[in-house]
Structure 1
Amino acid sequence: MNLDKSQKRISKRVKRGFHGYPMISIQYFGPSEALATKVEVGFIEQENAEPMLETFNSETDIRKDETVQTTIIKIIDRVDAQTVTLEDKVQPLS
């Protein structure tokens, strides 16, 4: 799957809003807002459950990494996520 298609599919799922559980949350981290080098994909099976996190790192902007974006789509599809959330801003690395 190419990068544009992956990003459009993620964006489309985010725009749907809350539709229940299971839920996937996507949050990017980086040294600046212009560069995201880490992404955390959280899976929440039901309300009040602890999220299971999958983390991916990259030397370049991970938002433009076709392999990582395709993997996120596969995770969403595999768990049959009803809700997908995406943090708008790149969070500072801690």
Structure 2
Amino acid sequence: MNLDKSKKRIAKKVKAGFKGYPLINIIYQGDSADIAQQVVVEFVFEEGAEAQQEVFKSTADARQDEVIQTALIKIIDRADAKTVTESESLVVV
């Protein structure tokens, strides 16, 4: 799947708002506010459950990495996530 298509599908899910559980939260992190070097994907199966995390790392900007963005779509689809949230800004770590 190409990068633009992946980003549009993720944005559409995020824009839909809270629809229930399971919930996927996407957090972009990096050493500076310009480049996201990793993506943390949190999966919450039901309210009050502990979040499971998976981390994807990239040498370039993960937000522009086609492989990572396609993997995010696959995770969302396979988890049958009702709600997808995304950090509005890059978290500097």
Same fold (TM over 0.5): yes
Q: Which amino acid aligns with 2:53?
A: L
Q: CA deviation at 1:39?
A: 0.3
Residue in 2 that maps onto 1:78: 78
% identical equivalent positions: 53
Supply the RMSD in Å over aligned alpha carbons.
Answer: 0.5
CA distance in 2, matches of 1:55, 1:5: 22
CA distance in 2, matches of 1:34, 1:14: 22
What SS is found at the alignment partner of 1:73?
helix
Q: CA deviation at 1:75?
A: 0.2
Residue in 1 that maps onto 2:64: 64
**Which structure 1 residue ranges, 4+ long, deviate > 6 Å from structure 2?**
none
CA distance in 1, matches of 2:60, 2:52: 25
Residue in 2 that maps onto 1:43: 43
Q: TM-score, normalised by structure 2?
A: 0.98
Q: Deviations over 1:6-44 (max 9, x none)?
A: 000000000000000000000000111211001000100
Q: TM-score, normalised by structure 1?
A: 0.97
- Name the count of aligned residue pairs: 93
What SS is found at the alignment partner of 2:77?
helix
Structure 1 unaligned residues grouped into runs of 5+: none
Structure 2 unaligned residues grouped into runs of 5+: none
